[in-house]
A and B are shown apart, each in its own frame.
Chain A
């Protein structure tokens, strides 16, 4: 008996003597609390009646458990069709549209940049990333203000003013523009994922086909496309999972055409049916998990494509001959339209007194630099508190956004690094597989639903309610998969022998991490810190229902201005976000070599 106990004790001691095991156990507990528990509270909330709902369901008292909300939601009545089933279908359609456009635009650009001798690759590649840095709804606002005309709304936008042409309503409001603008926003994401594969694929097959005089079109359809197909499908699913959670884009481009989605339904339920917002949030989570299932199935199939592995020993560019300039010009026009032109319009609209007139006489610097104490200007021009660069609340929000983003990056990056390390070191154990799945789960849970889960969680831990700490926790867990994925990839490239050699010399674990592992894969690990930072700086959906004070961080402040009808401030803040992110991305790139594409690509 004593012997068995001693054996168990020794086994336990042996188990916990390995840092990777300690990390896995710690993260198993942490991730269960931060990922599973909020979902459980969300489930409970969806079955608990609230004060306002007692008016709709008078048989119940405030706080009672009830299923009537779910029945009303899923029951199939006209109301249920209008508030659930139609938005559900809309969400699926627009996410599919968004995925299609993201892969189409991103894939074509990735192909030309990575596989051809097109001109101006560097500048095209850099500018193409811009829409991913901008909050998605700012692209939507740009689209609306550019194409709107008085056949469908009150006034004419820039396009009609310049060319006298009026586009139909479906082009400005509804499912198509929502899908397209989200597609433009996520195109850089597709570009980086597909580009990563194209850049690293072995060119021998293409070379062989070229020698055998196979036509170029046949090489693309029969060799290149099948090679990138897994990345393509993976991208489709990831963009789909992100788009289904989009909230603000459907608000600006959907609501004028009564085009509702699951996310706008959640917003509607907040007032009269608060429990149903959690119910719809759970539906979004189920959709996310379904996507995870499909993703896993495809990853399994991906093994059949393993005729191509590792880095290419040679890079073969398709010679576009005279077309390399023509295609580059076309590419630049598209990139300028989706990356630079919106920024110019945002800047112009941040200096216009009347946002529909671009005449120079209508320009002012007051929305940027105006005196916050001038009461006359406050009531005649600003309608708020002065220029954004002189507004205390903006600096506070910028400080909060930076603090939030840096904290999330540090926590998510470090936790992701540790998890990635432990998962790779113990890759054959069940514990590692569970932790790996738990760590990836938040990525598949739509941002809005994940935010709602944390709102329900904070209701039980009220010290977190309305605090920056809640946002830090939420952001860190949500973005941890970026870092975990990046760290796992980096660790898999790193031979275990290097660490084993250090173990033999008696180097402690922390020293091995800091002095050996981190420096070797510094660039990949830093990308795991950079991506959560950038995502957090421009994030809205994740935080929008968790923050009570809209002025707490820059993105919610910006949405606050856009909803208040003060687009000058909204546009100025957008410029501020883009500039801050670009500055930090560039600085980190110059200092360390890490960049956003390495994090997104995960290669």
Chain B
């Protein structure tokens, strides 16, 4: 009897295994807003505007930028859309936990997202909470995670110290003389982690290796990488750079500290924190964006439709609005180092971004866990 049962069990398992092997993954059918967005991918702006006018209810955005509220109100006025148009400003570290709860609860007041962080956005698109829509505006970036705006981060130093320091190579920043002289938001700024992750990718690691060899001699980088027992020049840079830095929780504060500095101090942060007419003045600092290795870092602002929105056409129309000069101007204003990703708005986009490390989900998604562990280890002083 026992034997019979065993044979029967094995036979069933074999059949089930065969069924499982032969079973093809069904092609995922788009439903709900994902289908609406997909079907509307070729609709003109006029058609979208018409459809948006037919929609009712409020349109609410969750955004990591405080400027979104004004922009979305201007958008509603331009297209004569009815309902309350508003935005909630959420810090990036709180952003994803908040919106995940809202979308999962099918909250209809969660219509749209303006946010940063390539990895988080990539994960949310993968989970289906974010629906990517590519605008039809001329020159708009075509991407599977549409971003309408680029923000530049650079190193900077007060003018009177720039010549004295003579920085020409990013590895100069790892010299012992810079211990505690570099202010860097190493905690609470996930996009800075993404920059460090990008450094460890093949292309940026190569660039850093060349810069190292230019400073210390040919072949020296490979020796240093081996001696430090790290993966590549990118990891070596992180290992040497992080201990030299002092953390500050605010990049606005970093910019002010650099302008007020009474001792040679270097800051890293968003260029837009400096003002062309105002404090802290861009006139008082030198942007260190010509160093060998990398010029700085560019992160993106993504515009994504919410899975739970009840105004999908309004959402798509808004993405198109952000792709225009008028739409993005509400964010850029007179600020420095911010660019529209639309090539017809920012004419020399490739020249402006060349030499800067740029976040890219596809490049880092597979090394994310491993590199984050490495960064945390270095931060912890291990």
* Least Cβ–Cβ distance between A322 and chain B, in angstroms: 45
Q: Are B97 and A50 in contact (CB under 8 A)?
A: yes
Q: Which residues of A contact B190 (CB under 8 A)?
A: 271-272
Judged by a CB distance under 8 angstroms, whether B380 is at the interface is yes
Q: Are A54 and B123 in contact (CB under 8 A)?
A: yes
State which of A31-39, A183-191, A306-314, A546-554 sits at the interface with chain B.
A546-554
Q: Cα distance A52–B89 when bound, in Å?
A: 21
Q: Are A379 and B275 in contact (CB under 8 A)?
A: yes
Q: Are A50 and B100 in contact (CB under 8 A)?
A: yes
Interface positions of A from 457 to 479, Cβ below 8 Å from B: 458-459, 462, 465-466
Q: Are B250 and A563 in contact (CB under 8 A)?
A: yes
Q: Are B278 and A379 in contact (CB under 8 A)?
A: yes
Judged by a CB distance under 8 angstroms, whether B177 is at the interface is no
Known: A380-B278, A462-B105, A564-B252. A154 touches B93 (CB 8 A): no
**Interface core residue of A79, A82, A354, A549 (most chain B CB under 10 Å):** A549
Q: Are A255 and B247 in contact (CB under 8 A)?
A: yes
Against A, the Cβ 8 Å flags (1 = close, 0 = not) of B366-380 are: 001100110011011
Q: Cα distance A271–B98 when bound, in Å?
A: 11
Q: Cα distance A256–B263 when bound, in Å?
A: 17
Judged by a CB distance under 8 angstroms, whether A450 is at the interface is no
Q: Cα distance A106–B257 when bound, in Å?
A: 35
Judged by a CB distance under 8 angstroms, whether A152 is at the interface is yes
Closest partner residue, chain A, to B91 (CB atom): A550
Closest partner residue, chain B, to A381 (CB atom): B278
Q: Which residues of A contact B381 (CB under 8 A)?
A: 82, 258
Known: A154-B260, A549-B88. A270 touches B97 (CB 8 A): yes
Judged by a CB distance under 8 angstroms, whether A290 is at the interface is no
Closest partner residue, chain B, to A384 (CB atom): B66
* Least Cβ–Cβ distance between A324 and chain B, in angstroms: 44
Q: Cα distance A153–B261 when bound, in Å?
A: 8
Q: Are B250 and A154 in contact (CB under 8 A)?
A: no
Judged by a CB distance under 8 angstroms, whether B45 is at the interface is no
Judged by a CB distance under 8 angstroms, whether B298 is at the interface is no
Known: A270-B97, A548-B94. A51 touches B373 (CB 8 A): no
Q: Which residues of A contact B254 (CB under 8 A)?
A: 565
Judged by a CB distance under 8 angstroms, whether B246 is at the interface is yes
Interface positions of B from 330 to 366, Cβ below 8 Å from A: 333-334, 365
Q: Which residues of B contact A251 (CB under 8 A)?
A: 249
Against B, the Cβ 8 Å flags (1 = close, 0 = not) of A374-393 are: 00100111010000000000
Q: Cα distance A535–B88 when bound, in Å?
A: 26
Judged by a CB distance under 8 angstroms, whether B214 is at the interface is no
Judged by a CB distance under 8 angstroms, whether B229 is at the interface is no
Q: Cα distance A270–B98 when bound, in Å?
A: 10
Interface positions of A from 224 to 269, Cβ below 8 Å from B: 251-252, 255-256, 258, 264, 267-268
Judged by a CB distance under 8 angstroms, whether A566 is at the interface is yes
Against A, the Cβ 8 Å flags (1 = close, 0 = not) of B244-268 are: 0011111111111111111101010
Interface size on B, residues (CB 8 A): 66
Q: Cα distance A111–B368 when bound, in Å?
A: 58
Interface positions of B from 66 to 122, Cβ below 8 Å from A: 66, 88-94, 96-98, 100-102, 105, 107, 119-120
Q: Cα distance A55–B366 when bound, in Å?
A: 9
Known: A152-B180, A548-B62, A549-B89. A82 touches B372 (CB 8 A): no
Q: Are A153 and B253 in contact (CB under 8 A)?
A: no
Q: Are A51 and B382 in contact (CB under 8 A)?
A: no
Q: Are B278 and A565 in contact (CB under 8 A)?
A: no
Judged by a CB distance under 8 angstroms, whether A150 is at the interface is yes
Option from B88, B102, B260, B278 in Cβ contact (under 8 Å) with A356 = B260
* Least Cβ–Cβ distance between A396 and chain B, in angstroms: 12
Known: A271-B190, A356-B260, A383-B278. A256 touches B248 (CB 8 A): yes
Judged by a CB distance under 8 angstroms, whether A121 is at the interface is no
Q: Are B101 and A52 in contact (CB under 8 A)?
A: no
Q: Which residues of A contact B325 (CB under 8 A)?
A: none
Q: Which residues of B contact A91 (CB under 8 A)?
A: none
Judged by a CB distance under 8 angstroms, whether A355 is at the interface is yes
Against A, the Cβ 8 Å flags (1 = close, 0 = not) of B162-204 are: 0000000000000000001001000110100000000000000
Option from B187, B261, B273, B379 in Cβ contact (under 8 Å) with A154 = B261
Judged by a CB distance under 8 angstroms, whether A562 is at the interface is yes
Q: Which residues of B contact A381 (CB under 8 A)?
A: 278-279
Q: Which residues of A contact B379 (CB under 8 A)?
A: 82, 258
Known: A52-B120, A379-B334, A549-B89. A154 touches B382 (CB 8 A): no
* Least Cβ–Cβ distance between A154 and chain B, in angstroms: 4
Q: Which residues of B contact A563 (CB under 8 A)?
A: 91, 249-250, 252-253
Q: Are A465 and B94 in contact (CB under 8 A)?
A: no
* Least Cβ–Cβ distance between A509 and chain B, in angstroms: 41
Judged by a CB distance under 8 angstroms, whether B283 is at the interface is no
Q: Which residues of A contact B90 (CB under 8 A)?
A: 548-550
Judged by a CB distance under 8 angstroms, whether A78 is at the interface is yes
Closest partner residue, chain B, to A545 (CB atom): B94
Q: Cα distance A308–B358 when bound, in Å?
A: 71
Q: Which residues of A contact B251 (CB under 8 A)?
A: 565
* Least Cβ–Cβ distance between A112 and chain B, in angstroms: 38
Q: Are B372 and A272 in contact (CB under 8 A)?
A: yes
Judged by a CB distance under 8 angstroms, whether B127 is at the interface is yes
Interface positions of A from 63 to 80, Cβ below 8 Å from B: 78-79
Known: A50-B100, A51-B123. A83 touches B265 (CB 8 A): no
Judged by a CB distance under 8 angstroms, whether B58 is at the interface is no
Closest partner residue, chain A, to B188 (CB atom): A267
Judged by a CB distance under 8 angstroms, whether A62 is at the interface is yes
Q: Which residues of A contact B369 (CB under 8 A)?
A: 55-56, 58
Q: Are B368 and A465 in contact (CB under 8 A)?
A: no
Judged by a CB distance under 8 angstroms, whether A274 is at the interface is yes
Q: Which residues of A contact B382 (CB under 8 A)?
A: 78, 82
Closest partner residue, chain A, to B62 (CB atom): A548
Interface positions of A from 333 to 359, Cβ below 8 Å from B: 353-356
Judged by a CB distance under 8 angstroms, whether A155 is at the interface is yes
Judged by a CB distance under 8 angstroms, whether B124 is at the interface is yes
Interface positions of A from 133 to 158, Cβ below 8 Å from B: 150-156
* Least Cβ–Cβ distance between A424 and chain B, in angstroms: 41
Q: Are B101 and A459 in contact (CB under 8 A)?
A: yes
Option from B62, B124, B256, B376 in Cβ contact (under 8 Å) with A565 = B256
Option from A54, A79, A268 in Cβ contact (under 8 Å) with B187 = A268
Closest partner residue, chain A, to B252 (CB atom): A565
Q: Cα distance A550–B95 when bound, in Å?
A: 11
Option from A55, A270, A353 in Cβ contact (under 8 Å) with B368 = A55
Q: Which residues of A contact B265 (CB under 8 A)?
A: 150, 153-154
Q: Cα distance A339–B119 when bound, in Å?
A: 46
* Least Cβ–Cβ distance between A167 and chain B, in angstroms: 15
Q: Are B261 and A150 in contact (CB under 8 A)?
A: yes
* Least Cβ–Cβ distance between B255 and chain A, in angstroms: 7
Closest partner residue, chain A, to B377 (CB atom): A78
Q: Are B97 and A465 in contact (CB under 8 A)?
A: no
Option from B127, B250, B260 in Cβ contact (under 8 Å) with A62 = B127
Closest partner residue, chain A, to B257 (CB atom): A154
Q: Are B365 and A55 in contact (CB under 8 A)?
A: yes
**5 nearest A-B residue pairs (beta carbon):** A565-B252, A82-B380, A380-B278, A462-B105, A565-B253
Beyond the given pairs A79-B377, A268-B188, A549-B89, 8 more chain A to chain B contacts, judged by CB atoms under 8 angstroms and listed by A's residue number, are A81-B380, A154-B261, A155-B260, A264-B187, A380-B275, A459-B105, A563-B253, A565-B273
A-B contact pairs, 29 of them (CB 8 A): A55-B368, A56-B369, A82-B380, A82-B381, A150-B261, A150-B265, A154-B261, A154-B262, A252-B249, A255-B249, A256-B247, A258-B381, A271-B92, A271-B190, A376-B277, A379-B278, A380-B277, A380-B279, A458-B101, A462-B101, A462-B102, A465-B101, A466-B98, A548-B98, A549-B90, A550-B91, A563-B253, A565-B253, A567-B253
